[in-house]
Structure 1
Amino acid sequence: MIPAPRRASALAASHAIAMLAVATLLVACDAGQRARPDPTASTTLAAGSPVTLRVLAGSELADMRPILDEAARATAVTVKMDFAGSIEGAETVASGKADGVYDAVWFSSNRYLDTIPAAKQRLAGADRIMTSPVVLGLRTATAQRLGWAGTPVSWAQIASAAAAGTFTFAMTDPTTSNSGFSALVAVATALDDTGRALDAAAVSRVSGPLTGFFRAQQLTAGSSAGLTDAFVRRMTGADLGPAVDGLINYEGSLVELNRSGRLPESLTLIYPRDGVVSGDYPLTQLASASTAARDAQRRLADYLRSESAQRRIGQLTTRRPAVAGLQHPADLGELPVELPFPEDPSSVKTLLTAYLDKLRRPSRTVYVLDVSGSMRGPRLDNLKSALNSLTGTNSAPPTDHCRFRSREEVLLLPFSDRPAPLRTFTLDPVDPQPSHDLLRTAIADLRASGATAVYDSLVAAYTVLDEAVDKDRFVSIVLMTDGESNRGRDLAAFKSYLQSRGSRQPVAVFPILFGEADEAQMRDVAAASGGAMWDARAGNLTTVFCQIRGYQ
């Protein structure tokens, strides 16, 4: 399993101008794209041969499968979706790796794609399918305690309460997922309070209150779906750490979570009065797509924008209609103003770099690395190359945001017959280069020999994390192994150990399958610890290490 992927109140005149601009934009987007004829009353949409449309999509769109199955019957267009984080997907498009593999992309927004020239030039026509703002869902008891239930609240109030420690929240990593990216843009723009899109100077102006805001973030993940699962585990006690008060996510995802029955307590949705950033889910052709695929995309979009399909989308996913004149689902709140989105790529890069290196809580990660005899040769070379990519060498990962971050604590725990001595590296916020150099030296020193003590080594990693004095960090364990454990504890003993930790801080393990690693056991390790398994047996180990960064 590879888990899968944005104004503060100004003067009244500024508000009116911004709202007029948004309205004008929406009208322009919908020009010539009003509700399509009802496909159930006509067979014209199904004209043409059956086509499979290959789509790179955001993970939250898995809930569209029933509607896409209905669309296939009406249009003869079958959609095959592969899921990725929105930001990761943008990098895939920009690199050209989507060309010839996919016919279309379908993420919550194309805004980030549009800031990357190499990605924008690879896009063709697009149709907005639905909309959903990114908002804050708070446990109802917490919303009532803060006096926010049914009361307009600003992002500044939310940031102030977060800095004071009056509530905690979960949010995806904005470098990998659009929901986190949208939230970061929204709160930063609102705190700047100018009515204009963020620029690099604005990022510096709001760094203080943003740092306070992110002090309350207790959970992170690389995708909206992964974050929701982690939040539910905390709320239900499946993870023994403290419950988290809130979840920042798409409105539709939060309403659906309330409806699902997965939570012991419902969430109250907070719509910041100074604005939000919304996803508009454009189904977008790739310029490299064939003529048949482009025709299929248009047929599918015509169906999805029909009045009956728009209503069905609202009923099933609680997202708002993208077509003018249609009502949104009844249980959704009043939509605040849409905040301006930065169009300058340098402003986006400045914001994301500041988030990683200054604004968010730093992370502490133990890399538990199999260096048994079976890793000798190309496998060990592959591991070294993947780890070196995180230090910023020429074997760079798909995006600069995969690198080890300022203030981050990286712990290397190689193992074979037994865990080797641990090596700890903390990246200095002023000059991280010496730490990168030391890390590269340690990686180069890895040697393969001996047997495989997976579970003893995982216990050693947990012991180190439990003994750490500084607890104000995101913590995780990355396990990379190419074989079954044949020394020390077995899987059952490791799971018993996890249970014995009691109320100590939960730590997710992210096992990476490599070589002949036991898939069933690694899935068990991931499930027991609240992590997720990643498969690098047929893929690129560097890419997998990079993807896991969204969870650290």
Structure 2
Amino acid sequence: MNRDRIRTARAAALAAALALAAAGCAPSEDDLEGPGEPGELRVLAGSELADMEPLLADAAEEIGVTVHMDYVGTLDGVDMVRSGATENRYDAVWFSSNRYLTLHADGRAALRAETPVMASPVVLGVTSSAAAELGWDEDAEVTWGEIADAAADGKLSYGMTSPAASNSGFTALVGIASALADTGSALESADVAEVAPELTEFFSGQELTAGSSGWLTEEYVRRAADGGLNAMVNYESVLLSLSESGELAEPLRIVRPADGVITADYPLSLLETASDEVAEGYDRLVEHLTAPGTQERISAETHRRPMAAVPQGSEAAQMFPPVTELPFPARPEVVDELVAAYFDEIRRPARTVYVMDVSGSMQGDRIDGLRDAMHTLTGGGTDSTAGRYQRFYEREEVTLLPFDTVPHPPMTFTIPPGNPAPVLDEIGTAVDGLSLGEATAAYDALASAYETLEEGGGEEDAFTSIVLLTDGEVNEGRDFAEFRDEVHAGLPEELRGVPVFTVLFGESDAEEMESLAELSGGRVFDARETSLVRVFREIRGYQ
């Protein structure tokens, strides 16, 4: 493959992955129901694997196996496998790692076969100027502890995905904690408490969180251009692709910490419930993907490391320096304790204003759906792994700002450490008490949300955001242009950067909600064909 073709393929793959991840694709409730067909493979996959679709399309022509990919967050996917929700819908799963899934007996039992296809460690990308200032040249052996020191000194400001939503953030958290513990063995519960102070230093540099690697990358490009960020924690493959894409003012220096990383090995895994005929197609696909020629192409087009032998002297054999691999925790309770500590104690808290439509059109199922979604975030109905991680966190500030013809008075709650239940109950009671009005003054309510943030006394370094849910056309008060020109343009710089996450619901104006998200640096979530519970949980990855 010549270099021009490689560059074109990489650019197309990166664009496809970013677009799909940013769109928040999730499995349809109805697609691909029933038993699988011979010659087809229905796969539940992580969204970053969208860049493999060109290779899978070619595989269909070459070996006669057609792959249908549905995309999901890793922890939601783990829950689907463990609960049996994948039965008769999917033949295989393809996550960046099966490590967390196979910590659980029901997860191990659900897999019939698994084959690692490629690899990518979770590492740090730093702008070349910041790396030079820190003395991190290509030959420097940098540790996670040194990275934590740079973050604590204010020399490193970075983005990382949420461990509750994306495997890159989940893997990074586990790897960093394991490296800082420096025990030489798998992380244990006592180690989590021991390394908490160093983790707090490390995460003091986190300025951006996200629910997917794709949106994180897009937002990093935007903020790096403004000088707001100088680093990103992500898959090595994503960082290499971005650095070569031409989207950045300066290339990234890839820091592969000397004290170790955890590597995603992308195992294509056949489910126990797949038929023997489908399993035969799986075997043909695995053989094709792990063949030397395909492995070289994967490395060239996606920057992931080959898992099978490739010819010595080939580009794929030479392009990746070795890394030290850290052990993954052996017990699921340790991972759960670490993720809980990250949100409740270690990282900076969240501060969110929920701007909620209570106009007359929300009558019935719509207001019930909104109440269900908010109750899920207060801890109700969160038996799933992902649900437990996506609740409201300790130290978090939550403001409810209902609106109809006019904005209602905001109601602000701060979740106390140690005993959050009484305040979470208060939030639930407030949501249950919402009464419906008449018209829809969404932009007046947004203006009120910014006023609330400006006047409030919350954490200065909180992850601050606004969530706007409206089910219809704005027909009262300011319109979008007036909000944009009269309100948003006049905000202080720190408030202009607060993202608005808009929710498409009912008859809301999709084009206008997209414009609002773009104006604020937020993104759109679509609840027109899925539940508000699912969408509100997805938004948690961005807060």
Same fold judged by TM-score > 0.5? Answer: yes
Determine the structure 2 residue equivalent to 1:17: none
Which amino acid in the other structure matches residue 355 of structure 1?
Answer: Y
Which residues of 2 match residues 125-524 of structure 1 at below 5 A? 125-150=113-138, 151-237=140-226, 242-324=227-309, 326=311, 329=316, 332-394=319-381, 399-469=387-457, 470-496=459-485, 497-501=487-491, 503-505=493-495, 506-524=497-515
CA distance in 1, matches of 2:415, 2:319: 44
How many pairs are equivalent? 505
Partners of 2:292 and 2:310 within 8 A in 1? no
Distance 1:455 1:89, change over 3 A: same
- Whichever residue aligns with residue 193 of structure 2, its letter is S
> Retained in 2: the 8 A contact 1:154–1:274?
yes
Residues of 2 paired with 1:508 and 1:51: CA distance? 45
Q: 1:254 to 1:471 in 2, by over 3 A?
A: same
Q: Which amino acid aligns with 2:398?
A: V
- Distance in 1 between the 2:318 and 2:409 partners? 56
What's the offset of the Cα at 1:331? 7.4
Deviations 1:336-394 (A, max 9, x none): 21000002011111111111111111000111111000111221112111111111124
Q: C-alpha separation between the residues in 2 aligned to 1:214 and 1:306? A: 40
> What is the alpha-carbon distance in structure 1 between the residues aligned to residue 275 and residue 23 of structure 2?
28
**Matches of 2:241 and 2:25 in 1, distance apart?**
19
The 3 A distance-change label for structure 1 pair 128 and 330 is: closer
In 2, the alpha carbon distance for the partners of 1:232 and 1:499 equals 22
- SS at structure 1 position matched to 2:210: coil
Question: What residue in structure 2 maps to residue 105 of structure 1?
Answer: 93
Cα RMSD after superposing both structures: 1.8
The whole-number CA distance in structure 2 between the counterparts of 1:399 and 1:197 is 26
Could you say what secondary structure the match of 2:234 adopts? Answer: strand
Name the stretch that deviates more: 122-131 or 327-336.
Answer: 327-336
Aligned amino acid, residue 142 of structure 1:
A
SS at match of 2:493: coil
The equivalent of 1:14 in structure 2 is none
Letter in 2 for 1:516: E
Q: What SS does structure 2 have at the residue aligned with 1:337?
A: coil
Corresponding letter in the other structure for 2:122: V
Alpha-carbon distance in structure 1 between the residues aligned to 2:429 and 2:173? 36
AA in 2 matched with 1:85: G
After the TM superposition, which of the residue ranges 81-90 and 128-137 deviates more from structure 2? 81-90
- Residue of 19, 24, 27 corresponding to 1:3: 24
1:91 is matched with 79
Matched, 1:536 2:527: yes
Q: Which piece of structure 1 moves more, 316-325 or 115-124?
A: 115-124
**Conserved? CA contact 1:199–1:347, under 8 Å:** yes
Deviation track 1:237-287 (CA, whole Å, cap 9, x = no partner) reads 4xxxx5211001111110100111111111100010011100111111122
More off after superposition, 490-499 vs 399-408? 490-499
Deviations 1:145-196 (A, max 9, x none): 0001121111111112212222111111112111111111111111111101
8 Å CA contact 1:376–1:449 kept in 2: the answer is no
CA distance in 2, matches of 1:344, 1:71: 37
Contact 2:352 2:467 (8 Å CA) reproduced: yes
Q: Deviations over 1:102-147 (max 9, x none)?
A: 2211111111111233333222211111011111000100000000
Aligned 8 A contact 1:385 1:395 in 2: no
Contact preservation (8 Å) 1:4, 1:222: no
**Shift, 1:234, TM fit:** 0.5
AA of the residue aligned to 1:179? S
TM-score scaled to structure 2, two decimals? 0.89
Unaligned runs of 5+ in 1: 6-48
Question: Counterpart amino acid of 1:254?
Answer: L
Change (3 A) 1:437 1:396: same
Q: Which residue of 2 aligns with 1:19?
A: none
Whether the 8 Å contact between 1:3 and 1:226 is mirrored in structure 2 is no
Alpha-carbon separation, structure 2, partners of 1:460 and 1:293: 56
Tell me by how many angstroms 1:500 deviates: 3.5
1:513–1:169 CA distance, 2 compared to 1 (3 A):
same
Shift, 1:90, TM fit:
1.2
| Whole-angstrom distance in 2 between the partners of 1:463 and 1:99 | 49
Q: Deviations over 1:306-358 (max 9, x none)?
A: 11111111110111101035556377442221000002011111111111111
**C-alpha distance in structure 2 between counterparts of 1:293 and 1:482, whole Å:** 43
Seen in structure 2, the aligned counterparts of structure 1 residues 455 and 193 have a Cα distance that, compared at 3 Å, is same
Identity of aligned residues (%): 47
- SS of 2:454 mapped into structure 1: helix
The answer to whether the 8 A contact 2:293-2:310 is kept is: no
TM-score (norm 1): 0.88
More contact order relative to length (CA 8 Å, sep ≥ 6): 1
**Structure 2: how far apart are the matches of 1:337 and 1:495?**
50
| Matching residue's letter, 1:513 | L
Query: Do the aligned partners of residues 500 and 108 (structure 1) sit closer, same or farther apart at CA in structure 2, a change above 3 Å counting?
Result: same
Residue 503 of structure 1 and its aligned partner are, at CA, apart by: 2.7
Q: CA separation of 1:542/1:413 partners in 2, compared to 1, >3 Å: closer, same or farther?
A: same
1:526 corresponds in structure 2 to: 517
User: Once the 2 structures are TM-superposed, how far is the Cα of residue 67 of structure 1 from its aligned partner?
Assistant: 1.0
Structure 2: state its 5+ residue gaps: 1-21, 27-36
- Matched letter for residue 221 of structure 2: V
Matched letter for residue 428 of structure 2 = R
**Residues in 1 aligned to 2:403 and 2:86: alpha-carbon distance in whole angstroms:** 37
Change (3 A) 1:425 1:331: farther
Identify if the C-alpha distance between structure 1 residues 457 and 352 changes in structure 2 by more than 3 Å, giving closer, same or farther: same
Q: State the Cα distance separating 1:4 from its structure 2 match.
A: 5.1
1:45-91 deviation line (CA, Å, top 9, x unaligned): xxxx9733221111111111211111111112222212222222212
User: How has the CA–CA distance of structure 1 residues 324 and 393 changed in structure 2, closer, same or farther, with 3 Å as cutoff?
Assistant: same
8 Å Cα contact 1:4-1:85 kept in structure 2: no
In structure 2, the residue matched to 1:16 is none
Give how far 1:295 is off.
2.0
Measured in 1, the distance between the counterparts of 2:277 and 2:132 equals 54
